[in-house]
Structure 1
Amino acid sequence: MALWGGRFSAGSSSMFRQVNDSLPFDQVMAVQDLQGSVVWSRALHKAGVLSADEQAQLESALNELTRQAEAGELDFAASTEEDIHSFVEAALIDKLGDVGRKLHTGRSRNDQVATDFRLWVREHIDSLRQDLTALVRALLNTANRHRDAVIPGYTHLQRAQPILFAHWCLAYVEMFKRDLSRLDDLRKRLNQCPLGSGALAGTTYPVDRHEIAQQLGFDGPCLNSLDAVSDRDFVLELLFGASTSMMHISRMAEDLIFYNSGEAGFLQLGDEVTSGSSLMPQKKNPDALELMRGKCGRVFGALQGLLVTMKGLPLAYNKDMQEDKEGAIDTVNQWHCCLCIASEVLDSLSLNEDRCREAAAQGFANATELADYLVGKGIPFRTGHDIAGQVVLKALQQGCAIEDLPLTSLQAVCDKIDEDVYPVLQLEYGVNKRNILGGTSTETVVKALYQELEALDKQD
């Protein structure tokens, strides 16, 4: 049943319907469409359009359809309806006859879908927050299991300075906390209700838009009908937030793929998040991490696609905007899946702390400590930097670490170096010397770790 067929003498072609009909994907908003319809029926009754008996019939039928929708009992596949709105209206007419035909009075699919979609995004913000919070907890638990483990820190994928593995975990905690804050910001901005805006100019019926908004859990009504029906900023913000978060997931996956490699050997992933080779029996591949990294592309594509779609659209509603849903629905599904798998990966991994420590001690990662030691001897840092570089060259020539050079070799480069340099060159010294807010010392990291765990426990 098309909601617009009165002025047409011929039906739509099968190819046009294939392009036009949205029920195959907007059926996910069935509960939201029914929820909005209940509130709209109440508004129409209050405006004098529906009698008390008619409104009661409609609300009862809508509640029954909601129960069926939540139980997965609505047969969308067998329906020939164009979209979720016509599906619901057809179901009402089938149950109530002409009373069902009255519900759409004063309402357009334009303000209806804008309301449905905001309700759907809002609901998924709440579930995605739970997924992100679970991932933050998984990172914190992983850090807590390995509070004393030291790994190499990298710049340019070259060993740079030793850090605690827990410090690495906390870096991603900060990223995912920002993702949470973006979801919170989005929730505030989208929580305005378009219902009552009509097709583009508002409705002629005296509905109370503030009460409609309040009953649907919105902070208030949208203030301009043109903007209300044509705004998709909230979808773009969702896609941007998802893209940023997926980028964070992908970076974490890349780190773990490298740490898991035979070349690094810092950790092992659990069997439940890895797979094997059909040819090489020895292989244990980090497929979960690679898939998380790979799924970034489709999420980024959804954001870019909607930006390009929206950039040239005149006010108000245009059918191009139907392209907002499939990408957003898929993005939410992929984001949810990747967040959950990321938590599983972290819970499954086992760290080879001895191998991590060995690698952290390599690559002359204590050269900066030597330069800072020379600063303590009254040498300007830039000069100390040059001296430390010369010491590195000498160690390379002799095929040993800086701390293994004899004092005579060190003093041949700078006579201010003394026996007290050797404790400075030890691994723990470089880590724990960085005892500053945001640094990698054991004291700083453990304090930050417990602050984050305490904050999570308070949320629960």
Structure 2
Amino acid sequence: MALWGSRWRKSLEEVVEDFTYSLYFDKRLWKVDLLGTLAHVVMLNKIGIISQEELAVLKDEIKNLYLEISNNPDLIRDSEDIHTFVEESLTKRIGDIGKKIHTGRSRNDQVILDLRLYLREETCDIAELLINLRKVLLELSEKFISTPMPGYTHLQQAQPVTLSHYFLAYDAMFSRDLQRLEDIYKRVDVLPLGSGALAGSTIPLDREYTAELLNFSKISDNSMDAVSDRDFVLEFLFFSALTYNHLSRLAEEIILWATKEFSFVKLPEEYSTGSSMMPQKRNPDVAELTRGKCGKLIGNLVNMFTIMKGLPLSYNRDLQEDKPSLFSSIDELKIALRVWIGFLPKIEFDTERMYKLSSEDFLFATDIAEYLVLKGVPFREAHKIVGEVVRFCEENNKKFRELSLEEWRGFSELFDRDIFDLLNPESSLNLKKTYGSPNPVINKDVIKKREEELRNIIDRWHKLKSSLPDLMRLLDKV
């Protein structure tokens, strides 16, 4: 009989059981459900609801169940959800003592506790992966600090940049993702247990003690909000979708660069596939699948928003559907990060090809306009003059370098011989004055600052991860 079924005269229709069944996806919460149950019964012992002898029995059976499932996860079956499975399993083993574990607890606050415990662990794992990806990007930034390449706007060649500057741009995106994740963790790290179904309990539950056992930094202060709050899930899904979107943009870059038309990169065989029909092909499957899978994470976010948009307080069964979206985004993001951490260092970059294209004359047009500005010409006038030079070159099939000084002066008397010193990517890069530009000297400073920032981030996440409770350690402690 279901845990809630004592007043029911009729059993659920089989199709309804199938429709409401969630064990196939929420069984991954079994470790945190046992952990939360252990902390709860230890607290019940502290306030006198469970005796010392009963606690000893419960601790032994919780440990035994933990070890048995660890060795054989297929033991989890024949229950409507993981929370029911744990309670039924313990009750079968120890009888009436097992019936005490749900004292002062509802599945409503139990579910949200498990989700918060689980997500704390997952955020730490994902933070570690993001940190490792950023390490790769910063290493590549250092390696290619002075490697010129064309930069693009509207996918048209614009101005010379460096390959380092590209990698630093993506590192900036993943840096913001890590900041978001750290901020989300603070709102995940709230103990909801003790909220009951929606209105707390008449039993004097020691919520502060439970929070201490589970290393939560704070406890919820409104029971209705606590059991129905999924803001932190939405925030995490947004973070996941945005982080994956950044991977997708990087993927598109690699896809373009791997084309014959760009020929900037050669893909590693270990991270690409061939064609079943065309033997010459080397396809960017990793990048294409990253681009294709991104929609799934965006969809998971939209799905969760749709679940939440019209829910009255407090708990509603709709919230059962938060977990498939959450678990899907976690799994997809983690494997994609692992793939890109291995993929990026093995890509071969054709730096000669990049240099050649970054030396195309018209990429220096903006530098030439600013050359005139520094001699006192208003920018709009300078823009007009250089535009006329470009048109002249196009109409006469010439390059900037092929113009004589007299031809340059035909457009402005302010042009002098030093104009020819501007027409190479090294000068374009080294003359940049603004912080945040692709000037290699400036970017060396940026890399140092980002590496220092990353060291501090690593320390913070290490402290968070080391503070997470573990069932076996908690058993020894209590």
TM-score of the aligned structures, taking structure 2 as reference length: 0.93
Higher mean alpha-carbon deviation, 400-409 vs 176-185, is at 400-409
Indicate the residue corresponding to 2:68 in structure 1: 68
SS at match of 2:306: helix
Does residue 392 of structure 1 match 2:390? yes
Q: Structure 1 5/363 Cα, relative in aligned 2: closer, same or farther at 3 Å?
A: farther
Gaps of 5+ in 1: none
Indicate the residue corresponding to 1:28 in structure 2: 28
Runs of 4+ in 1 over 6 A off after TM superposition: none
Deviation at 1:452, TM superposition (A): 2.5
Indicate the residue corresponding to 2:39 in structure 1: 39
Match for residue 84 of structure 1 among 82, 105, 113: 82
Deviation at 1:127, TM superposition (A): 0.2
| Counterpart residue type for residue 282 of structure 1 | Q
1:57-94 deviation line (CA, Å, top 9, x unaligned) = 1122112222334x3523256x2100001110111012
Indicate the residue corresponding to 1:423 in structure 2: 421
Indicate the residue corresponding to 2:261 in structure 1: 263
SS at match of 1:87: helix
Q: Structure 1 72/444 Cα, relative in aligned 2: closer, same or farther at 3 Å?
A: farther
1:238-277 alignment to 2 at 5 Å? 238-277=236-275
Deviation at 1:351, TM superposition (A): 0.8
Match for residue 162 of structure 2 among 161, 164, 174: 164
Q: Distance in 2 between matches of 1:154 and 1:363?
A: 15
Q: Structure 1 72/307 Cα, relative in aligned 2: closer, same or farther at 3 Å?
A: farther
Q: Distance in 2 between matches of 1:245 and 1:63?
A: 37
TM-score of the aligned structures, taking structure 1 as reference length: 0.97
| Counterpart residue type for residue 216 of structure 1 | L
Q: Distance in 2 between matches of 1:448 and 1:377?
A: 30
Q: Distance in 2 between matches of 1:457 and 1:193?
A: 29
Match for residue 293 of structure 1 among 288, 291, 294: 291
Indicate the residue corresponding to 2:321 in structure 1: 323
CA RMSD of aligned residues (A): 1.4
1:172-187 alignment to 2 at 5 Å? 172-187=170-185
CA contact (8 A) 2:43 2:205 kept: yes
Deviation at 1:341, TM superposition (A): 1.2
SS at match of 1:112: helix
SS at match of 1:206: coil
Indicate the residue corresponding to 1:382 in structure 2: 380
Match for residue 130 of structure 2 among 126, 129, 132: 132
CA contact (8 A) 2:258 2:267 kept: yes
SS at match of 2:263: coil
CA contact (8 A) 1:111 1:196 kept: yes
CA contact (8 A) 2:149 2:358 kept: yes
CA contact (8 A) 2:133 2:341 kept: yes
| Counterpart residue type for residue 16 of structure 1 | V
1:152-177 deviation line (CA, Å, top 9, x unaligned) = 11111111111011011011111101
| Counterpart residue type for residue 49 of structure 2 | V
Q: Distance in 1 between matches of 2:398 and 2:3?
A: 80
CA contact (8 A) 1:435 1:443 kept: no
CA contact (8 A) 2:145 2:444 kept: yes
Deviation at 1:19, TM superposition (A): 1.6
Indicate the residue corresponding to 1:51 in structure 2: 51
Give me the identity figure in percent. Answer: 40
Indicate the residue corresponding to 1:407 in structure 2: 405
| Counterpart residue type for residue 64 of structure 2 | E
Deviation at 1:413, TM superposition (A): 1.9
Match for residue 145 of structure 1 among 143, 146, 157: 143
Deviation at 1:394, TM superposition (A): 1.3
Deviation at 1:251, TM superposition (A): 0.9
Indicate the residue corresponding to 1:236 in structure 2: 234
Q: Distance in 1 between matches of 2:126 and 2:71?
A: 22
Q: Distance in 2 between matches of 1:4 and 1:208?
A: 25
The number of equivalent residue pairs is 458
